[in-house]
Amino acid sequence: MKPGSGVFINKDTLTDLLRDYKEKPSGLLRRLIRVLVGDEYLINMSAMGEGGYDPIPKKVLDAVKRKSVFNFIYLCFEFS
List the chain domain ranges: 11-79
pLDDT in tens, 8-60: 777 888 888 888 888 887 788 888 888 888 899 999 998 889 999 999 888 88
pLDDT of 4 strictly over 60? no
- Report the 3 state secondary structure along the chain: CCCCCCCCCCHHHHHHHHHHCCCCHHHHHHHHHHHHHCHHHHCCEECCCHHHCEECCHHHHHHHHCHHHHHHHHHHHHHC
Backbone angles phi, psi at 45, to 5 degrees: -125, 155
pLDDT score for 22: 80
pLDDT score for 55: 93
pLDDT score for 43: 92
User: Could you give the CA distance from residue 52 to residue 63 in angstroms, rounded to a whole number?
Assistant: 24
